[in-house]
A and B are shown apart, each in its own frame.
Chain A
Amino acid sequence: MIGLINIELYKIFRKWRTYIGFIAIAVLVSVIQVAMLVEGQRSINFMTHNLQQSFILVGNLLNGYLVSHLILNTLVIHIPFLITLVAGDLLAGEATSGTYRMLITRPVSRINIVTSKFLAGIIYTCMIIFFLAIFSLGLGLSIFGSGDLLVVQNGTLIVFSKNDVLWRFLLAYCFSSLGMGVVASLAFLFSSLVENAIGPIISTMAIIIIFIIISGINIEIFRAVKPYLFTNYMNGWRLFFDDPIDIKEIVKDSLILLGHIFLFFGSAALIFQKKDILS
């Protein structure tokens, strides 16, 4: 299995589209960091205007942690686009290029093929988030330096000591990987159904956009369906920036996301097992 995963990773990283995600993240993170360098202090002053009338705020408020938190908040909605580019191509890409035939006539079980492809997709997803973490925190801390983190959580301003922040970021990025894993799994499921990668990419994005919109509209009928939308649980990383941390909620959200991953992958594996290869 490890050999198969290595082969799948090799195939992924020999394609140009794989690097679009890394390049896009590098560009977006850099742009946000530069914008914060230029405009950040004014934004901080504006955000803390009311507080400054009652408290004296000292220290480096515009720091690498604050910028990284802001970036995570912003990009976590856009990263699914980058992940589907690769995940949607994992199976359908083989059909498009006609290499399915060559692959499936090898003495290897279909379940091993589909599992290795899926795991390679998950590894790619984690690498994207890891890259975001390293680039965002690394660049942020080197430009803005360290400092306490100010976070507004459910309308409450929480200040985390700079020594109490890094582990929260690490766990938040891990949780984000889980959320993005659901996106990758969904794209993978669609990829098992068709013979062209465009369909899975568009379908996955359409579903995510619809779910995010429904989650964001605060009306009764949508509130009722919200618990059933996986996008609703993808922002669970924010729970790591709460005080105290609601472990129960984090575990619940994680299990729901994991359940979706297993459901989507299981369906894809079942479809792939029964699929007639006609490409």
Chain B
Amino acid sequence: MKEEVLSDEKIIEVQNLSKQFKEIRAVDNLSLNVYKGDVFGFLGPNGAGKSTTIRMLLSLIKPSGGNIKLFGKSLKENRIEILKKIGAIVEKPDFYGYMTAYKNMEILGKISGSNISKKRIMEMLELVGLHKRYKSKVKTFSHGMKQRLGLAQALLHEPDLIILDEPTTGLDPQGMKEIRDLIIYLSKEKKKTIFLSSHILYEVELVANRMVIIDKGHAKVEGNVSDLLNSNKLKVTFEVDEIEKAKLLINDTSWMKMLNSIVGNKLIFLLEPGEISFLNKLFVENNILVSAVIPTRSLEEYFLSITETVSK
């Protein structure tokens, strides 16, 4: 995970953003801030309103209410100026399949009004590993290749803010890793601000420094990823040889309050990270053989706890 970026310059400032589609309120009074240099994780289950929010940030759809400021300026009044500083992938990247990768890039560069050189296009294609296929028609590309081309087009005009909506969807593990590495590279080496929407929590956990979790259109929690992770206990499974003896041992102790459940010969506790070794020591000193200690607490657990609480 990245270190927290120390900047108070707001790149994205969303206040009470709402979007109503007939009876469905896709985004409901959402507020969030993204600071310069952030890799900002935008988390939520499918249908939480992530893509709708991103579409509003990119002026693809108009908000029903609220304000969006990017780079300190109102999106509504400074759309073109703001979009010059943004590169984006919105959901799956689609291109003109009947054109080559190079031609697609050239056309998108021209539409942007930037004087994009052939060298720059080739550099971006090389960055995403598509330089050897620059003459191939995009319709011959796999989904992963289109995703990478999507990244290349997003970076083409050297934007300050990169908005990535589910950039690893449909990629194999190697492809996912490559995208993650690229995000880290863009953040650390190129000092870009990155807004990363995903429902793959592990992905956000690995690359983001700050995040918001949204569900049913509004933010449930926002803050530093490390703070949010540390503020919650780990779910730790202790697999023991004598379950009854272990139960007797912890009975009437403070450990009992931390016991979450018992499944077969597994005792599942909710613990602070520092408590794991003490409990393990207790079992071992009382001749209870611990065959496995499995901590499962992660952002995923946290995410589920947040969204499950909401649904309950």
Contact = CB atoms under 8 A, between A and B. Distances in A.
Contact of A274 (B62, B81, B91): B62
Q: Which of A3, A15, A105, A276 has the most CB of B within 10 A?
A: A105
A101 B111 contact: no
A7 B112 CA distance: 12
B83 A105 contact: yes
Contacts, number: 69
Contacts of B79: 107, 109
A103 B62 CA distance: 16
Nearest to B58: A105
Contacts of A101: 60, 90-91, 94
A278 B61 contact: yes
Interface string B141-162: 0000000000001000000000
Contacts of B62: 274, 276
Contact of A108 (B61, B86, B113): B113
A104 B92 contact: no
A97 B94 contact: yes
Contact of A105 (B88, B95, B99): B88
Nearest to B87: A105
Contacts of B93: 102
Contacts of A106: 83, 108, 111-112
Interface residues of B, number: 31
A97 B97 contact: yes
A98 B92 contact: yes
Interface in A102-149: 102-109
Contacts of A250: none
A78 interface: no
B112 A107 contact: yes
Interface in B33-66: 55, 58-62
Interface of B: 55, 58-62, 79-84, 86, 88, 90-99, 107-108, 110-113, 153
